[in-house]
Amino acid sequence: MNANLVNQLVRPEILELSAYHVPDSEGMIKLDAMENPYLLPEKEQVQLGEWIRTAEINRYPAPHAPDVKALIKTSFGIPKDKDILLGNGSDEIIQIIAMALAQPNAVILGVEPSFVMYKMIATFLRMKYVGIPLRANDFQLDLPAMLEAIRVHQPAVIFLAYPNNPTGNLFHLEDIQTIIEATSGLVVIDEAYHAFAGNSFLTALAPYAEKVVIMRTLSKLGLAGLRLGFLIGDPAWLAEFDKVRLPYNINVLTQKATVFALENIDIFNQQAASIVEQRHVLFTALCDLGLQPFESQANFILCRVPEAETVFLRLKTEFHILIKFMGKAHAFLTDCLRFTVGSPEENQLLIQALTVILKN
């Protein structure tokens, strides 16, 4: 192996990166990745097995998956005049959008802290990433700073997660609208957590449809393993994005399982509703422990915890509970942990463990 050759040929900004880290979770209570804790009920598991049995895995998948798209539209109440683009997770959709817009010197504008893939994908595609800090006190958009960044950098695209990850809040709608009006680029509203949120931008989309698209995913709803994200937007945008999508990006099993899942969407909506209930339970319990959780509209809670990294490590080693330590993500978050809302039993174990740890 000639390491010199690697160093010589690979772009320096790639050499500098560390690969996206996924911690080993074998045997752990997994409250780190915003997964839905529930499987399908036994009866539907059997039905899914039966339904998948006849999947034509000898064939390439349908490139446009019209049945999946039609079901997405009816399941999520998406207006008829919008098109749908499917991605191998919404991560792939971020990449597709960026690939289509990556003209020389094109800028991606985001906020900090937010979802890390916007910046990573900008780096992959040699785009410039500009991240504007949120307001430190309430994690809302710093509107004057955003408007200044739009003026100075003229971003090709702005990514806003609604609700935001890792802070869990919804940005003020009027701020988003002001940003949309100010930019001459595209705005992507990333609604990965819409199933748990009190609002969606879909209802506010109509007047801005020329420069706004909405991105969603089935991952947080309970289907992270399938890898299916989708983009909602005007046909003119989606037709261009579709050109950079690899032809068979959604595999046969995912397409088939998605149809089954969407025909049983009530199960997932009920699970989401119970996760929202559990979010309230967990929030109250964290307050009762004397901690400072932030209000969340998602299926996780960001929380200030004294000696956060020690608490994270003790949860992992002594209690086999995996959560996310946010201290390295942003200066605002040095003492923050992010807890995914789990099942009632998992949340109970988390609270019990925190009670022990915080006492000594």
Ligand X SMILES: *Cc1c(COP(=O)(O)O)cnc(C)c1O
| Number of residues located near ligand X, criterion CB under 6 A | 13
Binding residue for ligand X (CB under 6 A) from 37, 229, 233, 342? 229
Binding residue for ligand X (CB under 6 A) from 30, 32, 78, 90? 90
Q: How far apart are CA 121 and CA 312, in angstroms?
A: 28
From 73-81, 85-93, 275-283, 309-317, span contacting ligand X (CB under 6 A): 85-93
Nearer CB in complex with ligand X: 251/348: 251
Nearer CB in complex with ligand X: 40/214: 214
89 binds ligand X (CB under 6 A): yes
In this structure, what token pair is assigned to residue 194?
A: 């819409």
161 binds ligand X (CB under 6 A): yes
115 binds ligand X (CB under 6 A): yes
Nearer CB in complex with ligand X: 47/123: 123
165 binds ligand X (CB under 6 A): yes
Contact 230, 215 (CB under 8 A): yes
91 binds ligand X (CB under 6 A): yes
Q: Kindly write out the interface string for residues 177-196 of this chain, putting x where it contacts ligand X by CB under 6 A and - elsewhere.
A: -------------x-x----
State whether residue 83 is helix, strand or coil. strand
131 binds ligand X (CB under 6 A): no
Do the strands 321-322 and 324-325 form a parallel or antiparallel pair, or are they unpaired? unpaired
351: phi then psi, degrees, rounded to nearest 5: -65, -40
Contact 296, 168 (CB under 8 A): yes
Do the strands 128-133 and 107-112 form a parallel or antiparallel pair, or are they unpaired? parallel
Contact 15, 4 (CB under 8 A): no
Binding residue for ligand X (CB under 6 A) from 200, 217, 278, 296? 217
Nearer CB in complex with ligand X: 115/285: 115
254 binds ligand X (CB under 6 A): no
From 138-146, 169-177, 217-225, 333-341, span contacting ligand X (CB under 6 A): 217-225
* DSSP type of residue 226: T
What does 275-343 look like in DSSP terms, one character per residue?
HHHHHHHHHHHHHHTT-EEPP-SSSEEEEE-TTHHHHHHHHHHHH-EE-EE-TTT-GGGTTEEEEE---
Query: Under the rule (CB under 6 A), what is the footprint of ligand X?
Result: 34, 89-91, 115, 161, 165, 190, 192, 217, 219, 224, 229
